Structure formats: C-alpha cells, structure tokens
Amino acid sequence: AAGVIQSPRHLIKEKRETATLKCYPIPRHDTVYWYQQGPGQDPQFLISFYEKMQSDKGSIPDRFSAQQFSDYHSELNMSSLELGDSALYFCASTHSLANEQFFGPGTRLTVL
Amino acid sequence: EDQVTQSPEALRLQEGESSSLNCSYTVSGLRGLFWYRQDPGKGPEFLFTLYSAGEEKEKERLKATLTKKESFLHITAPKPEDSATYLCAVRPSNDYKLSFGAGTTVTVRA
C-alpha cells in the first residue's frame, strides 16, 4: 500500500539559511499535518491543512510557513534557521472522514 | 488542556516476558485514542484506534484496551523485534491534531 512520502530524508543547513520540506500524502487523503520531534521528545504539532486551506496551527514559529497544493502535497518552508530547529519533521496524512493519521518516514534537519 | 502521560518511560523485558504499558489521558471529549510504534529515526507506525471505554483491539502480540481515564497496551510473550518506542496519542472531539505522550521505550532481550 502507498505510504506518505517525504523529501528530502536528510537535510543539513547553516544558521540563518532556509529549508523547504515536502510531503506527499497517501492517495485520496485530503488532510496533511506537520509535526516536529526533537531528540528524545514526542512529536509536537506544527500546522495542518485540509483541502488546501490551513485548518489548525500549533507551536509553529513565525519563521516557518506551509501550504498545501492542488495535488494535496504540502511544503513546509523554514527561514532564518536556528540551531534549535534541528529535529525530525514528520508529515502525516488522513482522509477528513477518518481519524487515523499515517506518518511519513520524516525529514531529519540538522542546522549547523 | 489535553494531557497524555505514559508510564513507564522505559521497559526492559526478557523474551517471552509479558507486560503492560500505561497511557493516562485528560481530554475535552475523546474523539479517539491512538497507539503508534516508533523505531529510532523513523516515523510513527499506526497500530490501533480506540474510541470508547471497554473497547479492545488486538494485533499479533499486542492488545490495547481503553477505560475512561487510561489505556493499556499489553505485550504478550514479546520477541526482540517488538523492541521500539510505543507512543500514545489522543484526539479531542473538537480538534483534529494529535497530542502525544512521551512514549515508553521497550527493549526485549533474547
């Protein structure tokens, strides 16, 4: 069965640089969630989109923005990167009529 | 505010030694309680959804149960491949995002 696809899988950036993370949801899923997971921590909700509109917002810094496109894929844009942004970033997708969120393999971002 | 507390933080088991993980939650109306398995550096893998008190779900050596205040994940006769971090998450009835617990890291020795 098709799963959530995230790219890139690994990303190394310098402080103050920008990064773009991409997420391709499971086919026919219309809702995408972004989570950040620091070392040894549980995933923290950042932002979500339903039918290309932002549906909820969590603890996402103003330096970050995201959007969902007409093919339902989503991109998380991160600017002015800080050392503390180093983490695993997960995308999860679901169909709006379901409850279960299915997670992608994550993007490991390292900020040097 | 929704809260999810998992215990213990870590669990070391001998192969075949059954045990249970606990997830206590406080939520404004439960839409669903979810169990995930996470291997190091990988995304959480969906295991179960529980909706109401008294509900039980099973998958291989895992069984999840739910009460009004907590959920248990029972691991029966575990094998080394069951070693992972098990995450519990809740979704309130008036929201879509998941609130996770800190997880229980299970290590099963052969």
Count of CB atoms situated within 10 Å of the CB of B18: 11
Task: Please list, in sequence order, all residues whose beta carbon lies within 8 angstroms of the beta carbon of residue A62, skipping any fewer than 6 positions away.
Answer: none
Whether residue A48 and residue B46 make contact (CB cut-off 8 A), yes or no, is: no
Phi, psi of A17 (to 5 degrees): -80, 175
Closest CA to A103 of A90, A89, A85, A86: A90
Is the pLDDT confidence value at A101 over 90?
A: yes
**CA dist., res. A61 & res. A100, Å (int):** 26
Q: Which of A59-68, B31-40, B50-59, B94-103 has the lowest mean pLDDT?
A: B94-103
Place of tokens 């669990």: B11
pLDDT bucket at A80, cuts 50 / 70 / 90: very high
Whether residue B46 and residue A100 make contact (CB cut-off 8 A), yes or no, is: yes
Count of CB atoms situated within 10 Å of the CB of A58: 15
pLDDT bucket at A99, cuts 50 / 70 / 90: confident
Structure tokens at A62: 């103003």
Residues in chain B: 110
Three-class SS string for chain A?
A: CCCCEEECCEEEECCCCCEEEEEECCCCCCEEEEEEECCCCCCEEEEEEECCEEEEECCCCCCEEEEECCCCCEEEEECCCCHHHCEEEEEEEECCCCCCCEECCCEEEEEC
Structure tokens at B87: 């995450």
Place of tokens 């921590």: A41
What percentage of chain A reaches a pLDDT higher than 90? 90
Q: Which residues on adjacent β-strands are paired with residue B63? A: B58, B74
B96 interface with A at CB cutoff 8 Å: yes
Compute the average pLDDT of residues B22-28.
Answer: 94
pLDDT of residue A32: 97
Among partner residues A58, A100, A105, which is closest to B43 by beta-carbon distance?
A105
Q: Which of B6-10, B33-37, B94-98 has the lowest mean pLDDT?
A: B94-98
- pLDDT tens column, A9-30: 999 999 999 999 999 999 999 9
Structure tokens at A50: 């339903």
Residues of A (55-94) whose Cβ lies below 8 Å from B: 55-56, 58, 88, 90
Instruction: Kindly list the residues from chain B whose CB atom is less than 8 angstroms away from the CB atom of residue A31.
Output: 96
Among partner residues A48, A105, A106, which is closest to B97 by beta-carbon distance?
A48
Q: B38 to chain A nearest CA, in Å?
A: 10
Whether residue A103 and residue B46 make contact (CB cut-off 8 A), yes or no, is: yes
Phi, psi of A65 (to 5 degrees): -145, 160
Q: Which residue of chain A is at minimal alpha-carbon distance from B101?
A: A42
Q: Which residue of chain A is at minimal alpha-carbon distance from B32?
A: A99
